[in-house]
Amino acid sequence: MPDATTLRVLLDLLPRVIVVAAVIEEDERFLVTRRQHGVHLAGMWEFPGGKIDPGETHANALRRELREELDTDVDVGALIFDVTHEYPDRAVALYFYRCRLLGMPRPLLGQEMRWVPRSELSSLGFPPADVELIKLLMKADAPRRSQDDGRR
């Protein structure tokens, strides 16, 4: 077993991917999609979003990804959680933002889409990197829509 310093050096050699995701809650339910076959973490549930292109802001990446995947735009709100998770083949920095839909989502890539009640989030298979966010959202005092976002 390598010592801590060697392990850190090896982990630093992993490819790093920066990902943004939209946490969209309406009527006490969260919008989630299932990762398609043939991609990293296929079959797992996730909050919609994706990789940031070079030079792209987090907000612009979220809007682009939601248009590409779900044919809708979003208002990007506050960052509610971020984490870096090291998988065996890559390190993923995830940034989760509270978002509000500006249209009706419809899957464009053949992915499954669901609105899931807060109480059922933990029963879905989310990637390991999402575990702490799911715990946060399951709490009664989890971050919710702000009072000034027009959705009271």
Band (117; pLDDT cuts 50, 70, 90): very high
The pLDDT of residue 60 is above 80: yes
- Token pair 């890559």 is at which residue? 90
| pLDDT confidence of residue 6 | 60
Q: Read off the pTM.
A: 0.79
pLDDT of residue 65: 96
Mean pLDDT of the chain: 83
Asked if the model's pLDDT at residue 123 lies above 80, the reply is yes
Q: CA-CA distance, 12 to 45, in Å (whole number)? A: 27
Write down all domains in the chain, each with its CATH number in brackets.
4-138 (3.90.79.10)
Query: Percent of the chain beyond pLDDT 70?
Result: 77
How much is the pLDDT for 17?
85
Q: What is the pLDDT of residue 1?
A: 58
In DSSP notation, 94-149 reads: EEEEEEEESS----SSS--EEEEEGGGGGGS---GGGHHHHHHHHSTT-----TTS
Segment 18-44 mean pLDDT: 85
